[in-house]
Each structure stands twice: as structure tokens, then as C-alpha cells.
Amino acid sequence: MTDRFAIVMAGGSGTRFWPASRAARPKQFLALGSDAETLLQATVARAARAVGRDQVLVVTSARHGDATREQLPDLPQANILLEPAGRNTAPCIAWAAAHVRRRAPQGLIAVLPADPHIGDEDAFAAVLGRALDAAAAGSIVTVGIEPSRPETGYGYVDVGDAVDVGVPDVHRVRRFEEKPDQATADRYVASGHHLWNSGMFFFRADVILAEIARHMPELGEFVADCDRAAATDRELAFVEGRYGQLPKVSIDYGVMERAEDILVLPGAFGWDDIGSWSAAWALAAKDGDGNASAGAEALPIDSRGCYVSAPEGKLVALVGVEDLVVVDTPDALLVMPRSRAQDVRKVVDALREDDRLEHL
């Protein structure tokens, strides 16, 4: 068996989970469910079960290095790659794949975003194994999620003909589709041959780096320079000086939409990108009245459908309220209906406008 690796992409930032998520603590560092594990910890544990802890690389922003090491104390230090600047997923994957190739030139890699929710771990593990198998002969493979609703917040994969690579249910990707408008999303879901783009990719290190060199020559050069610098132990200094100048391009746009013969496996394992507090509520364990809480202890009285997040030890009493999101942190508190979860950005915009950086 070829060596198997995972690249966990934990470079995300974002404001949809304000005030729990901040510039200094984005979504992947949060425990949004009912247990104490953060999304990053859950993803790394999942990856470690599949490929072994020493073969899991985590790529994150340099500013989140401390938080990452703190959340992953058992991961070898050298497995955490700190990006000096965020350049989207293509440079991130290129750099991490170069690391893998040095350890195993044909190492099989599972690229996993750090922050989705996975409902069914066993089903996920099975699909991940099959996706790596399908990639072993030199293909690039993605896993598409069977859509449960016409979501406009995700990209889609248009699924083509079945193909025999010794693994069941593998198809060619006909096309990667951007986030659609509602009518298009409706059409996709009705078509029966569109899956959600999970952002998970599976390939051999040599294969993806060849594709990167071909479609993104500047990034290919960066990888070659990286390897040379690494040979004389100067990689970190080199990356420090160069990374911020790399093109800011997603792997989808930079490689997947241009490469030929991308394969896709359909997956159904309770995947969700958790795009809002409302989604966090939908995925969390609930009491008989539909109330969910993370961290804090909620005391709901005559209350239904609420989501509470607050620091451990805090008591949050709800009396006679319905479908509210209540998120408390030491210095900021948010109260809104679940249906307004998208409007968190209005708060963030208002704070930014007023230069209230301490709360961002």
C-alpha cells in the first residue's frame, strides 16, 4: 500500500459566527455542536483514523499557529504548516503536497477542509478509503455530496459517466459549477446528476504537483524553489519571503476546472458546511423542545427552537422565547432570530465601520 496522508486545510476566516468566531479565532476553532470537540479537532481525529496521526498535515494561518498547536497537542509540530498570508487553497495544497512528496513521492493525499460537520463517521471513513483507492492509479478524485436541498451557498459538481477504476460508483466529473442562483440550484437538484462540491480532493502528491506545474506555472516554480530551499534547511525563510506574493487562487479554479479526467464519488455521510448559527442549531443535539446549547448550560423555560452558545459555567436562562440564537462571549453577546442568521454580517459591518476592532 502506498503511503497515505491527509492535508487538513484550516486557513479559514470569516464572520458568520460572530461573536464566537473572531479574526483571532475563526470557525474551525469553535465547538459548534453539543460536545466539546472543535471542528478542527474533529477533522484531524477523522484524518488520523484514516491515515495515521503522523501522516496528517495541518495548514493554517501563521496568526493561528498558537491556537492550532493548543488544540492539537498530539500532532507532531513539523506537521503544522503556517502560511505567512492567506492565498486561498491552491498555494496551500501545493505547499503541503510538496511536503508529502518529499516523504513519499507517490504518497496518496486526502485534502480535507477543517470546518465541515460530518454526521456519519463510519460512512465517511468508507468513502474516504474508496476515494484514495480510486486516486492510486494517478487520477484526481473528489467526493460530491448528495444534495438534501437546493442550496445556493455551495458549489456543485456535474456528474458524468461511470468509469471503471476498480472501485465501485466512480464517475467522471463533467464540470465544476460555481455557487448557483436559486433557480439554477433548483434545476441542479432536480437533474439527479449534480452533487455538492465538498472541497475534498484525493490524489497522489506527484500527480497534483504535475497538474499544478502545468496549469499554474508560477505556483509550480514556488514548489520547486521550496524543495531546493528545504534541501538546505531554508524552507521556512524562503516561504516567509515568497508566500505572500503567490497568486490568490482556489484549487477548484486553478486546477480542477482545467484538468482533464477528474473523478467523483458520491458520498452521503451527513456532511454540512455549517454556514451559519442557524445551521449550527440544525446540526446540534436538541432537547424535546428543539433547544440546543454549546458550552454553556441553557435553562429554557417555555422556550422552543433556540440555540445557545456561551462559555462553560455560564447559565443562560430563556423564558418564553422561540427560535432565537443567543451567543455569549466574555466581551460580546449576540441575540437574534435563527431566521436572521445571515445578518450577523450587519453587526460585523457596523463594528468595522466604527473601527471597533476590539470586538472583531
Q: Site residues (CB under 8 A) for a second copy?
A: 19, 299, 301-302, 310, 313-321, 324, 326, 328, 331-337, 339-340, 343-344, 346-347, 350-351, 356, 359
Which residues lie across from 144 on neighbouring strands?
197, 266
**Of 55 and 309, CB closest to a second copy:** 309
Is there a contact between 337 and 325 (Cβ–Cβ < 8 Å)?
yes
**Of 233 and 358, CB closest to a second copy:** 358
Give the angle subtended at the CA of 12 by the CAs of 97 and 53, to the nearest 5°.
Answer: 50
**Of 85 and 321, CB closest to a second copy:** 321
In the complex, minimum distance from the CB of residue 24 to a second copy, in angstroms, rounded to a whole number: 16
CA 258 to CA 180: how far, in whole Å? 20
In the complex, minimum distance from the CB of residue 67 to a second copy, in angstroms, rounded to a whole number: 22
Q: Which grid cell sits at 333?
A: 453577546
Is there a contact between 306 and 323 (Cβ–Cβ < 8 Å)?
yes
In the complex, minimum distance from the CB of residue 310 to a second copy, in angstroms, rounded to a whole number: 7
CA 360 to CA 358: how far, in whole Å? 6
Nearest to 80 by CA among 2, 4, 11: 11
Bridge pairing between strands 4-10 and 56-61: parallel
Q: Which grid cell sits at 94?
A: 501545493
In the complex, minimum distance from the CB of residue 21 to a second copy, in angstroms, rounded to a whole number: 14
In the complex, minimum distance from the CB of residue 30 to a second copy, in angstroms, rounded to a whole number: 17
**Of 162 and 350, CB closest to a second copy:** 350
**Of 180 and 275, CB closest to a second copy:** 275
Nearest to 30 by CA among 349, 270, 295: 295
State the burial class of residue 301 (Cβ atoms within 10 Å of its Cβ: 0-12, 13-18, 19+). Answer: exposed
In the complex, minimum distance from the CB of residue 288 to a second copy, in angstroms, rounded to a whole number: 16
Report residue 290 CA to chain centroid gap: 27
Report residue 15 CA to chain centroid gap: 15
DSSP 8-state symbol, 22:
B
In the complex, minimum distance from the CB of residue 281 to a second copy, in angstroms, rounded to a whole number: 15
**Of 103 and 356, CB closest to a second copy:** 356
**Of 288 and 320, CB closest to a second copy:** 320
